[in-house]
Amino acid sequence: MVKYIFENKKNDKFDAKIFLFDKKEKKFGTYFEENLSKNELTLIKETIKRENFPENKKDFSVISVGASKVILASFDESKADDLFFQKLGGKLSNVLFESEKAVYYVREKAEEAYHLAYGYELGSYRFDKYFTKKESSHYSTLQSLSFAFEKEKLSEKAYADFSAVASSVNLARDLVNEPANVLTPKTYADEIKKLKKCGLEIEILDEKELKKKDFNLLMAVAQASDNKPYVVVMKWIGNKKQKDFDLALVGKGVTFDSGGLNIKTGSGLEYMNYDMGGSAAVVGTLRALALTNSKANVIGVVGLVENAIAGNATRVNDVITSMSGQTVEIMNTDAEGRLVLADLLTYTQQKYQAKKIVDLATLTGAVLVCLSKAYAGLFSNHDKFAEELLKAGVQVDEKLWRLPVDEHFNKMLDSSVADMRNIGTSRWGGSSQGACFLQRFIDEGVQWAHLDIAGTADEDKGTDLNPKGATGFGIKVLYDYVKNNF
């Protein structure tokens, strides 16, 4: 664990010193010269001349001075917003991998230090628990990242909210990266239960309870697995005077998606342990709201099931009566996420009178065809709600793109023997079909948004803020939305 130090300890010994280097003005940031020795200054001048930095378009120039490093980060004043500093922090996590004590000289505003540390916390995340040999590519040696600033006092306290979000994103990443033999619905529910210590109210419904409460679609997905299903309800009551919930978050928590009888083949099965990414975003958001003492009342409901295959598996053409009373003809057992979510949505509305709902799910491969891994699909029945979410997404760099949910796709779900089928009669617009299925379980007057995060829940290569593997996508955008709207 890296320690972030916000006191001015300029005279400490550091083995890495980080400065901004203004691209346009071609000059170092504030306090530059006074914090470097003559020897260091000459070396730096020689190196940047030789490397042609920053014209070489590299983000950094790393200059070794004996056993320590001076790192110059190229920067453009006109583009230096909060996200710039976050991404810079993320990038630094790769440059600082072999240092122990680093210091960053803050230029102008205290805020930039917090954004940089936040980016570092997100970008330096690694899922390394299963490596038995310590290799430097897996383990960062950095122990502390200090921030030196002369103008005003930086404070640890001011960073606490940033850290609460970053650690919640990293917790969600841990859950999603965890293999399905370790993270079963049961062990997952146990992990969520631990969040009671953050001030969340947590209720766990087991199989017996789920049967009694008519979670029939969810049970139809779960029934072939030896790992029994759970539904977990998390509540954050930030405003005790208010009875109802400002927002409900509903998440798909399929701990492994084999496809069921419509079994996935070959590489289609790979990373299907990530199929609980929607639920992890719900868990992480509630944790972040609790740790930052949000004034809002938010409820999270997640359905934890494994979509397995066995003699007692749900078949194609089976008809199931959902909790809502509507009947569903199962036409594809691999379209299981919508079945899990449908009962969760009904439960959230009936039991908790939710009037504003966001559901999150790794729902369709089709959303990747449509939006690649650059955007999550946003589907909504309410323009203002959708706009607010889109705006939050831009602010935190978890981008959403609105896609249609309308009659064209909805009618594809009509069945000849039941109220609806769980997949459409054609492949086209698969993500919108999924959204239309969910909308059939949304009551009149309820504002609803569905985020299809099948593409954004994980990164193949890694970006500045999202290392390879699970991203924890959804927490930053929902946290920002709640902070700005309630």
Under rule CB under 5 A, residue 253 binds Zn ion:
no
With CB under 5 A as the contact rule, the residue among 257, 359, 452, 480 that binds Zn ion is 257
Under rule CB under 5 A, residue 275 binds Zn ion:
yes
Give 400's contacts (C-beta < 8 A, 6+ positions apart): 375, 376, 377, 378, 389, 390, 393, 451, 477
**Interatomic CA distance for residues 98 and 16, integer angstroms:** 10
| Residue 48 partner contact from Zn ion, ligand BES, Mn ion, none using kind-dependent CB cut-offs of 5 to 8 Å | none
Cβ distance to ligand BES smaller for residue 65 or 368: 368
Output the smallest distance, CB 364 to ligand BES, in A.
Answer: 4
**Interatomic CA distance for residues 117 and 381, integer angstroms:** 38
What is the contact mask toward ligand BES in residues 288 to 327, using x (rule: CB under 6 A)? ----------------------------------------
Residue type, position 351, single letter: K
Dihedrals phi, psi of 278, to nearest 5 degrees: -65, -45
Is 129 an annotated catalytic residue? no
With CB under 6 A as the contact rule, the residue among 336, 343, 359, 398 that binds ligand BES is 336
Kindly indicate which of the ranges 202-210, 240-248, 319-327, 358-366 contains the residues binding ligand BES, using the contact rule CB under 6 A: 358-366
- Phi-psi domain of 325 (left: phi exceeds 0; alpha: psi -120 through 50; beta: other): left
Catalytic residue among 193, 264, 440, 468: 264
Among residues 331, 323, 187, 173, which one has the least CA distance to residue 255?
Answer: 187
Is 243 an annotated catalytic residue? no
Q: Under the rule (CB under 5 A), what is the footprint of Mn ion? A: 257, 334, 336
Catalytic residue among 173, 338, 356, 373: 338
**Interatomic CA distance for residues 359 and 301, integer angstroms:** 9
With CB under 6 A as the contact rule, the residue among 210, 449, 454, 482 that binds ligand BES is 454
Cβ distance to Mn ion smaller for residue 332 or 447: 332
Under rule CB under 5 A, residue 306 binds Zn ion:
no
Under rule CB under 6 A, residue 199 binds ligand BES:
no
Under rule CB under 6 A, residue 330 binds ligand BES:
no
Output the smallest distance, CB 451 to ligand BES, in A.
Answer: 13
Output the smallest distance, CB 278 to Mn ion, in A.
Answer: 13
How many CB atoms are located within 10 Å of the residue 331 CB? Answer: 18
Kindly indicate which of the ranges 28-36, 49-57, 106-114, 257-265 contains the residues binding Zn ion, using the contact rule CB under 5 A: 257-265
Under rule CB under 6 A, residue 365 binds ligand BES:
yes
CB closest to Zn ion, residue no: 257
Q: Which two tokens stand for residue 376?
A: 């999550």
**Interatomic CA distance for residues 238 and 151, integer angstroms:** 35
- DSSP strand pairing (297-307 vs 230-237): antiparallel
Q: Which residues are catalytic?
A: 264, 338
Residues lying near ligand BES in the complex (CB under 6 A): 257, 275, 332, 334-337, 362-366, 423, 430, 454
Residues lying near Zn ion in the complex (CB under 5 A): 254, 257, 275, 337
